[in-house]
Amino acid sequence: MVADADLKVAMKGNINHSVVFWCFNIAGDKWSIDTTCSVAKSVGCSSVEICGPAEFDTIKKHGLTCALAANGMSGAPFMRGLNNPSYQSEVIAVTSKTIEDCAAANVPSVIAFTGYKWKNADDPNSGEISLQEGADNCVAGLKALAALAEKKGINICLEQLNTRDGSHPMKGHPGYQGDDIDYVANIVRRVGSPRVQLLFDIYHVQVMNGDVIRRIEECRDVIGHIHTAGNPGRAELDEQQEINYPPIMRKLVEIGYKGYVGHEFIPTRDPIAGLREAVEICDVWSTQTVSFAFSVDTVCLELFDSSPFQLSAGDSPWSARWAGPCQTWTSIAVSLGGSLPFPFCGPSFMARWPLNLCE
């Protein structure tokens, strides 16, 4: 199956979009890796991720990259993690092999997990690893991996997951130790390697912590990868869920984030339409602020954008949002003394600036 070329979103160039393979492989039409790559490329994504070496050649064949590799652990890889001495040596060995494979295939990053807090990851009655012990174990394990990662030029991205949603094995993970974004970010900071970074999953952060934009600012020093999904339910990024993605994406642009944004929602309807919608919603311009010095009452602007803009007239800033088509030049008039109906072209000052202002 190949998606219609007309589905491709006209990209603004600020967000690098990626598709998380497992979501579309287990639900909806249950796409193969080949189909996932074809659809991803057709809607404007440049990566298909959380795949292993067996999929790397197919991804490359489609002219895509794998932005984030699976760590190679069998079963549910988030259960047996670096926090648990019973599994740590296996996790390090398997992840080390994956780092080698990623380096050979030019795959930039591999995922990592704290693991479940129970001493036997399958048995909630087996006793718990304390938060401090779990963090210390993760730091030691990540430091062991960091030496190889630095040598090979591969990033290790440690993920926070939510423990609140027990309705589905992939919507939440009750028992996961790293369910607080500050806890996981501090583990990353303690490792002290530029190759050990934070996987900031917006869906999981919203479920457990909220205050997403402020938390992006607080974690800007360690963020290495981003995931999206709608909440509640880890479904599409549509109007049925609560996360307002455009300002979150603009925050990523503001902090200078240049990594990938992996769309990791479980489709509940047409998966191609849902994926295209996610790309379109998350593909944003940065917010622009411009100042003018002039003596007329109105200014007629021509903008190639639908993002917020602000005009400053002396000490009286005037802000507005144009919600019209973002694909065509549109004349907008702004009255600095009050509001005018749109569209309106007054007598006066014309400003038309180049597209590169919006990059």
Tens digit of each residue's pLDDT (9 = 90 or more) over 24-79 = 999 999 999 999 999 999 999 999 999 999 999 999 999 999 999 999 999 999 99
Q: Is 26 helix (H, G, I), strand (E, B) or coil?
A: helix
Residue 243 pLDDT greater than 90, yes or no: yes
Q: Is 15 helix (H, G, I), strand (E, B) or coil?
A: coil
CA distances to 89, 209, 240 from 115, rounded to whole Å, are: 13, 19, 31
- Average pLDDT value for residue range 176-200: 98
CA separation for the pair 297, 143 (Å, rounded): 61
CA separation for the pair 19, 132 (Å, rounded): 34
Q: How confident is the model at residue 11 (pLDDT cuts 50, 70, 90)?
A: confident
Q: Note the pLDDT of residue 7.
A: 66
Alpha helix ranges (H) inside the chain:
21-26, 33-42, 53-61, 85-105, 131-152, 181-191, 202-208, 212-218, 245-254, 271-282
Catalytic residue among 49, 159, 236, 277: 159
Catalytic residue among 49, 55, 264, 277: 264
CA separation for the pair 222, 228 (Å, rounded): 18
Q: What is the pLDDT of residues 313-325, one digit of tens each?
A: 334 333 333 333 3
Q: How confident is the model at residue 101 (pLDDT cuts 50, 70, 90)?
A: very high
- 49 catalytic residue (yes or no): no
Residue 154 pLDDT greater than 60, yes or no: yes
All residues at 6 or more sequence positions from 155 whose CB lies less than 8 Å from its CB, including other chains: 108, 109, 110, 149, 195, 196, 197, 224, 225
Q: Note the pLDDT of residue 310.
A: 43
Residue 148 pLDDT greater than 80, yes or no: yes
Global pTM reads 0.82
Q: Note the pLDDT of residue 130.
A: 98
Whether the Cβ atoms of residue 21 and residue 49 lie closer than 8 Å to each other: yes
- Mean pLDDT rounded to a whole number for the chain: 84
- 159 catalytic residue (yes or no): yes
Whether the Cβ atoms of residue 177 and residue 209 lie closer than 8 Å to each other: no
Q: How confident is the model at residue 10 (pLDDT cuts 50, 70, 90)?
A: confident
R_g over Cα of the chain: 23
Q: How confident is the model at residue 6 (pLDDT cuts 50, 70, 90)?
A: low
Q: Note the pLDDT of residue 218.
A: 98
Which 8-state DSSP code applies to residue 176?
B
> Domains in the chain and their CATH numbers?
11-282 (3.20.20.150), 288-358 (no CATH)
